[in-house]
Amino acid sequence: MFSPVGNLPPSVYWRRRLIVIGSLVLLVVLVALTVRAAVAGGGDDGPVAAGSGGPSPSGTTTGPASSSESPSSSAPTSSTPASTPRSTSKSASRSTSAAPVRCGKGDLAVQAVVGKKSYDVGDRPVVELQVTNTGSRPCVQDLADRQVVLKVYNGESRVWGSHDCEIQPGTDDRTLPVDRAVRVSITWSGRTSQEGCKGTRQRVGAGTYTLYAQLSGKNGKAAQFTIG
């Protein structure tokens, strides 16, 4: 195979062989390049195919997908009501902690108050119970008629009592601010009375009288006035 056969010089045969071998090598290279280009081209087509397939799903999700996603997008909306009870419970706990409590007897300063220091015989004196919350926070006190007792004395003699002839039923809960006086007023007829509204009621005469006040069993400071 490698020994030249023919009438031509050996160099001619070697050149021909080199040309054939070179042609074969070039052909192999061309084939390899073609195959590589084909493979590379096939790889590029993959994403293109995926991209070409992409518009179809995207076209589908443009409408229905957005509406189908609305429940998940409304999740924050559903979480908002979930947070509302928490804020409500906080406000509820604050209002509960800040809500006034019942007044204790030690929280109250009670005293009797008279509209004027002096009245004429036949006048209808205004007598009052004044209560002041001396505690550290507002408190609730029932100021209904059955809790408020006013009595008038002339010396040691009991002249009149607010519960002698009538006691109004019911309750009258009021929130008493700290260090603010609240008054309950009664207009006294200026006539005597007895417990159970017994006996004849007579007009009181001239003299010095003392008004006593009591709130829910707590005695207050008395007040004096004159009738003359």
Annotated domain spans of the chain: 10-97, 105-227
CATH number of 105-227, picked from 2.60.40.10, 1.20.140.10, 3.40.50.10490, 2.70.160.11:
2.60.40.10
Dump pLDDT digits (tens) for 16-58.
Answer: 778 888 888 888 888 888 877 776 655 444 444 344 444 333 4
Q: How far is CA 59 from the centre of its chain?
A: 46
Q: What does DSSP assign to residue 191? A: B
SS3 category, 137: coil
Strand locations in the chain (E):
101-102, 108-114, 118-119, 126-133, 139-142, 148-154, 157-161, 173-176, 181-187, 207-215, 218-219, 223-227
Question: What average pLDDT does the structure give for the chain?
Answer: 78
The model's pLDDT over 193-207, given as tens digits with 9 standing for 90+, comes to 999 999 999 999 999
Whether the Cβ atoms of residue 210 and residue 222 lie closer than 8 Å to each other: yes
Contact assessment for residue 143 and residue 171, using Cβ atoms and an 8 Å cutoff: no
Alpha-carbon distance 135 to 104, whole Å? 9
- Whole-model pTM: value is 0.57
In the predicted model, is pLDDT for residue 222 greater than 90?
yes
Instruction: Report pLDDT for 39.
Output: 67
